[in-house]
Amino acid sequence: MTIIYEILKESWHIYLDVAIYMLFGFFIAGVLYVFFKAEKIKQYLGNGRIRPVILAALFGIPIPLCSCGVVPVAAGLKKQGANNGAALSFMIATPESGVDSIAISWALLDPIMTVIRPVAGFITAVATGIVQNYFGTDDLPENKETVKGTSG
């Protein structure tokens, strides 16, 4: 029973250490939401193979979304004209290097890791998006009746 108490106590101390950084991250996210409208962002992510990928990764870096919350946002970007590579780049860059992730990295790790983490996330997102745009398919598979006799 003592070990459970110690785990809960240390978890609470970590939460207290991280709380101020999380509040700052959410404040920055609110500022970004107010000043950068979604319509303006979406118009830059549609045409081209490299530029939209880089822009999507840059736009995704400061947004505090987890890996679950980024999927609907990326799907919405895709529906509103973003190409596949840009949507994929956004999906990778956002949870890896959001403002909240950077704040937690600062609180729990050292300043070097705080800088390396978003840079590595950006490079990974851009590389994946460019590969998708050059080597991936542009269309979704059709619903076919060949899948165990079911129809769309």
pLDDT in tens, 62-102: 777 776 677 777 777 787 778 899 989 988 998 888 777 78
Residue 120 within a domain: yes
Residue 151 within a domain: no
Name the pLDDT band for 143 (thresholds 50, 70, 90).
Answer: very low
Name the pLDDT band for 152 (thresholds 50, 70, 90).
Answer: very low
Cβ atoms of 91 and 70 within 8 Å: the answer is yes
The structural domain count of the chain equals: 1
Residue 13 within a domain: yes
Measured on CA atoms in the order 106, 104, 78, 87, is the torsion positive or negative?
Answer: positive
Residue 70 within a domain: yes
> Residue 77 belongs to what domain range?
2-135
Residue 15 within a domain: yes
Residue 152 within a domain: no
Residue 146 within a domain: no
CA distance 114 to 109: 7
Classify residue 152 as exposed, middle or buried by CB count within 10 Å of its CB (0-12, 13-18, 19+): exposed
* Angstrom distances, CA of residue 78 to CA of 72, 83, 132: 10, 6, 14
